[in-house]
Structure 1
Amino acid sequence: MNVFLWILAGVLAAFFLAAGANKLAQSHAKLLATPNMKWVEDFSPGTLKLIGAAEVLGAIGLILPAVLDIAPILTPLAAVGLAVIMLGAIITHGRRKEYQPIIINAVVLVLAVVLAIFRFGPNSF
């Protein structure tokens, strides 16, 4: 089970690192021009950078505290934080009637919750 949770943490970290880095590296206008990022028009550039930074920090928090064995409680807390971000993404897409991204967001939400539950509970560090 521990190996599965490490793989899950790695996959989630890669997903959120890529998504967050994309939001941090590209301008608001360039993100608006991306076909699957029309939701960006609902947010200011600063808010978008904040979301990107939270995703990058969450990705780091999924791996680094456990690997370094420094405050490993931060790993399940990062998973909870990323689950909250996914919940916000589901709400945003639902309000905009963009139903296809909700499926991806829901899957990632479930994976983050599973990681948080098991790292808080039976398979904690």
Structure 2
Amino acid sequence: MNIAYGIVAGLLALFCFYAGTLKVTRTRDRLRPMMAWVDHMPLPAVRALGTVEILGATGLILPPLTGIAPSLAPAAAIGFVLLQTGAITVHLIGEDRRIALNAGLTVTAAVTIWLATGM
């Protein structure tokens, strides 16, 4: 795993693992101050998104680190681009214009794809 990929993917994975863990473990009331959109989605969908984030974070780190199925790393990064594109859409439909974090995560995931395919 090259150093640039390790840093970028590691930071993206860390953030997504943390956010996914919150979505899986916290109640809707405890998520609401950070994620206003949770009121517009069923709780099982929020939990599923959290699970996808945790699995994606694992997919960014473990395959390149272990050398087992390294093609899963760019697939996980592509999944994060799609996830964040959907998140931006949900924010804009809900008339929430705070999408800077999601845009930044989209760019970070796109850079991760580029770095993963260059390994």
Q: Distance in 1 between matches of 2:68 and 2:93?
A: 40
Q: Does 1:111 align with 2:108?
A: yes
Aligned residue identity for 2:56: G
Identity %: 36
- Give unpaired runs (5+ residues) of structure 2: none
Q: Cα offset for 1:83? A: 1.1
Mapping of 1:46-125 within 5 angstroms? 46-100=44-98, 102-120=99-117, 123-124=118-119
The TM-score normalised by the length of structure 2 is 0.93
Q: Distance in 1 between matches of 2:72 and 2:65?
A: 11
What does residue 7 of structure 2 align with? Answer: 7
Q: Distance in 1 between matches of 2:84 and 2:53?
A: 10
Q: Distance in 1 between matches of 2:9 and 2:111?
A: 10
Count residues with an aligned counterpart.
118
What CA RMSD, in Å, does the superposition of the two structures yield over aligned residues?
A: 1.1
- Give unpaired runs (5+ residues) of structure 1: none
Q: Distance in 2 between matches of 1:5 and 1:81?
A: 17
Q: Which aligned runs of 4 or more in structure 1 are off by greater than 4 angstroms? A: none
Aligned residue identity for 1:91: T
